[in-house]
Amino acid sequence: MSSMRVVSIHEFGGSDVLRLESAPIPTPGEGEVLVKVHATSINPIDVKTREGSGLAGMYKDQLPVILGWDVSGVAESVGAGVTDLKEGDEVYGMPAFPALAKTYAEYVVALANQLARKPKNLSHTEAGALPLVALTAHQGLEAMNLQAGETLLVHAAAGGVGHMVVQLAKARGAKVIGTASAKNQDFLKNLGVDEIIDYMTTPFESVVKNVDAVFDCVGGEVQTRSFAVLRSGGRLVSITGKPLEELVKKHNVLPFQQLVKPGRAGLETLTQLIEAGKVKPFVSQTFGLSDVAKAHDLVGTGHVRGKVVVQVAS
Ligand SMILES: NC(=O)c1ccc[n+]([C@@H]2O[C@H](COP(=O)([O-])OP(=O)(O)OC[C@H]3O[C@@H](n4cnc5c(N)ncnc54)[C@H](OP(=O)(O)O)[C@@H]3O)[C@@H](O)[C@H]2O)c1
């Protein structure tokens, strides 16, 4: 067998541009692993890029392209120089980002040092949900250096990144305040959120004051309103763009604009927390490779709880 099923786009546009077709199975080069993909997930960046924003500018001259960054699967073969992973190992990761990882496919090639062994207590479906959102959450909390006993406000706490931030912050011993709509209040309670704000009925600044840090997964006016609830010297992690300079100065806030990076070290830290039972992904819905368009439409609503996963192999 030398060809595989992939989902590619030949142009940017609506979810109908996602096409199931066949492509040659790639060959791993030096330092690389060929992974048989069991699961990948859909992130908002996939949707934005497919629509022509997000990272589309980077790939517009490379069309057709295969999107997708998350992967959980089994090493099929390894390239020259790979000694720490071998055929048959169960692995997960978010290779290549922000370059193309091409995980909407039955096989992907990834750098070995951007993969880690899959947590033993997770299925491929769960592990495939994790890498991009969990690395984003982990790297953001590391950047702001969140400490035990501090109070963190998390915007969009029920979303892909947010539900990871909440669990990782609780594992660090922080107090967590989270925003979500009414339907997600019980979900956040079960994740261990200490104080839950229904952002549809309660402006967060009417009930939150002097927090040590904010992890913002929404951006726009939610972010500009967040400066007023931070203590002087507090930290703001933004994953949606650069925090406004004049507000940073006015409120004496330490800003962190994060873009997630691939890498094994972060994945290994996450694996330890997952295997210790401190962190678990929530998968709200799964789709097959032939239904990636439906999965994009769902993520595009901006109101998914946890993650949407594409199961590629059974
Ligand atoms: N810079 C980076 O490296 C990086 C990495 C990952 C993600 N991102 C970006 O970060 C954003 C979040 O990503 P994600 O994967 O977490 O998205 P997501 O899973 O699609 O977020 C969905 C969640 O957002 C909540 N939500 C929507 N509007 C809200 C509001 N005004 N206040 C509070 N909650 C709200 C929804 O809760 P309700 O249904 O209850 O409203 C839902 O649970 C996206 O823009 C994504 O592109 C950036």
β pairing state of 195-198 and 175-180: parallel
Q: Given this model, what pLDDT does residue 169 score?
A: 99
Contact 19, 10 (CB under 8 A): yes
Residue 273 is predicted with a pLDDT of 98
Burial class of residue 1 (count of CB atoms within 10 Å of its CB; 0-12, 13-18, 19+): exposed
Place of tokens 């991009």: 132
Q: For residue 259, which atom of ligand 1 is closest to its CA?
A: 3
Q: Which residues, at least 6 apart from 80, have a Cβ–Cβ distance to it below 8 Å?
A: 29, 30, 31
CA distance 281 to 134: 9
Beta strands in 190-252 (DSSP E): 195-198, 211-216, 230-238
Cα(132) to centroid of ligand 1, in Å? Answer: 13
**At CB < 8 A and 24+ separation, what contacts does 207-212 make?**
208/153, 208/177, 210/234, 211/151, 211/152, 211/153, 211/177, 212/146, 212/147, 212/150, 212/151, 212/152
Write out the chain's pLDDT in tens, 314 residues: 699 999 999 999 999 999 999 999 999 999 999 999 999 999 999 999 999 999 999 999 999 999 999 999 999 999 999 999 999 999 999 999 999 999 999 999 999 999 999 999 999 999 999 999 999 999 999 999 999 999 999 999 999 999 999 999 999 999 999 999 999 999 999 999 999 999 999 999 999 999 999 999 999 999 999 999 999 999 999 999 999 999 999 999 999 999 999 999 999 999 999 999 999 999 999 999 999 999 999 999 999 999 999 999 97
Mutate to test the pocket of ligand 1, among 164, 181, 184, 305 (most ligand atoms within 8 A of CB): 181
**Centroid of ligand 1 to alpha carbon of 296 (angstroms):** 14
Give the per-residue pLDDT at 203. Answer: 98
Predicted TM-score (pTM) of the model is 0.99
Pocket probe for ligand 1: among 70, 141, 161, the residue whose CB has the most ligand atoms within 8 Å is 161
pLDDT of residue 1: 66
Instruction: In whole angstroms, give the CA distance from residue 10 to residue 22.
Output: 13
Regarding the beta carbon of 240 and ligand 1, being less than 6 Å apart is answered: yes
Six-digit token string for 301: 């609503």
Exposure string for 179-202, b = 16+ CB within 10 A, e = fewer: bbeeebbebbeebebeebbebeee
Residues in Cβ contact with 83 at an 8 Å cutoff, skipping those fewer than 6 apart: none
Pairwise CA distance, residues 227 & 246, whole Å: 11
Phi/psi for 163 (5° steps) reads -70, -20
Sheet bearing 65-66, strands edge to edge: 18-24, 3-9, 65-66
Query: Going by CA atoms, what residue is nearest to atom 36 of ligand 1?
Result: 303
Does 199 sit in the ligand 1 pocket, CB within 6 Å?
yes
Residue 260 neighbours by CB under 8 Å, 6+ apart? 94, 97, 132, 135, 136, 139, 239
